[in-house]
Amino acid sequence: MSLILRVDDLGVAIGAVKPLSGVSFSLDKGETLGIVGESGSGKSLTAMTIMGLLPLIGGRVTTGSIMFDGSELADLPETAYRKLRGGRIGLITQNPMTSLDPLRKIGPQVDVVARLHLGLDKRAARARTVELLGDLRIPEPASIYYLYPHQLSGGMKQRIVIAMALAADPDLLIADEPTTALDVTVQAQIIRLLLDLVTARNLSLVLITHDMSVVAQTCDKVVVMYAGRAIERGAVSAIFDRPRHPYTQALIGCIPRGLTVTEPLKSIEGTVPSVAHYPSGCPFHPRCPRAEDICATEPPSFVQDRDSAAACHFAMAAAQ
């Protein structure tokens, strides 16, 4: 496999606040990478950074590198990013209910991507959109083309958003919690659809989610994030067979497994800290049942173990 994306020691600042630091991971062509963590962990901000959208919120890259297919993106000018964004890198946004223009029919909203990035005329773009809607298992795509967003279900809207992300034949697809607003049955359909697209089109997929069970079923690699840092990363099989960071262990422990009606769901005590008040040392230490004095003062380094790595002072012992 060839490397398509490498993020190395990425740091981000918004004003005086530093919401991301030390984020590193890599992705090969045709692979699926899961970025997982609770809300507020920095998952969506990582996606925004890769897409070059930080200026929209007053942010900037302060450290590190984002290499896409051999090209550095961290200092790429906006004019160059406009050709890349929506073209070679597609983004599936988090909420399909608010991702579409309610005043425009859905067909032309998909057309504009192909017209902008592929240079197609109006007729060719329309034909491409209808074909793409059919590929996404949308019934009667030629009729759906002329509908407005409010005439579609949530699952159908999400398929339209996926069509927009695919319209220019990207090499990399970033899906930012693509099933958040959907019911469980439709969630499974959308995830299955994304995996089929990865195989059929040889896409690379970054799947952002808070659900460890989805990662276990769909991804080749996983990055676990907490308080703006990547705290564990590696092959999915390694992370689930021998998780070494206490936070990763806690997330996996929250997956429901054959619970009876009287057995409570497991949870992680406490909350993710505010970006303005990240703890010193290991960011998870205030919630960690294994924390010791060193955890509150010394940021842990990554400890490598075969095909996974964890940023924990007791990473080796935690796997045992």
317 has pLDDT over 80: no
Type of residue at 19: P
For residues 301-314, give the mean pLDDT: 91
pLDDT digits (tens, 9 = 90+) for 98-138: 889 999 999 999 999 999 999 999 999 999 999 999 999 89
For residues 231-241, give the mean pLDDT: 94
For residues 149-154, give the mean pLDDT: 92
**Average pLDDT of the residues of the chain:** 91
Q: 30 with 102, same domain?
A: no
Q: 217 with 293, same domain?
A: yes
Instruction: Report the CATH number at residue 294.
Output: 3.40.50.300
Q: 7 with 114, same domain?
A: no
Using alpha carbons, select from 41, 45, 33 the residue that is nearest to residue 5. 33
Q: 259 with 189, same domain?
A: yes
Q: 69 with 117, same domain?
A: no
How many folded domains does the chain comprise? 2
pLDDT digits (tens, 9 = 90+) for 33-73: 999 999 999 999 999 999 999 999 999 999 999 999 999 99
Final residue of a domain: which of 167, 188, 216? 167
261 has pLDDT over 70: no
β-partners of residue 27 are 5
- Per-residue CA distances from 76 to 8, 22, 81, 83 (Å): 16, 20, 6, 11
State the first-to-last Cα distance of the chain, in angstroms, to the nearest integer. 32
Burial label for 55, CB within 10 Å (0-12, 13-18, 19+), is exposed
CA 253 to chain centre: 21
Residue 275 included in any domain: yes
Q: Residue 267's pLDDT is what?
A: 84
Please give the residue that has the higher pLDDT: either 265 or 100: 100
318 has pLDDT over 80: no
Final residue of a domain: which of 167, 184, 211? 167
93 has pLDDT over 90: no
Final residue of a domain: which of 125, 144, 167? 167
Q: 176 with 163, same domain?
A: no
Helix, strand, coil percentages, rounded to 5, for the chain: 40, 25, 35
Q: 29 with 138, same domain?
A: no
What gap in Å lies between CA 95 and CA 224, rounded to an integer? 22
Type of residue at 176: D
**What per-residue string of b and e applies to 182-221 under the rule 16 or more CB within 10 Å gives b?**
beeebbeebbebbbebbeeeebbbbbbbbbbebbbebbbb
Q: 226 with 126, same domain?
A: no
What percent of the chain stands above pLDDT 90? 74
Q: 119 with 230, same domain?
A: no
Domain coverage including residue 107: 98-167
Strand 71-72 to 89-92 pairing: unpaired
Residue 93 included in any domain: no
Burial label for 21, CB within 10 Å (0-12, 13-18, 19+), is buried
Q: Residue 307's pLDDT is what?
A: 87
306 has pLDDT over 70: yes
Residue 152 included in any domain: yes
Residue 35 included in any domain: yes
Instruction: Band the pLDDT of 316: cuts 50, 70, 90.
Output: low
319 has pLDDT over 70: no
Q: 184 with 282, same domain?
A: yes
Q: 60 with 196, same domain?
A: yes
Residue 19 included in any domain: yes
Q: Residue 185's pLDDT is what?
A: 80
Q: Residue 95's pLDDT is what?
A: 79
Q: 220 with 278, same domain?
A: yes
Phi, psi of 96, deg, nearest 5: -65, -20
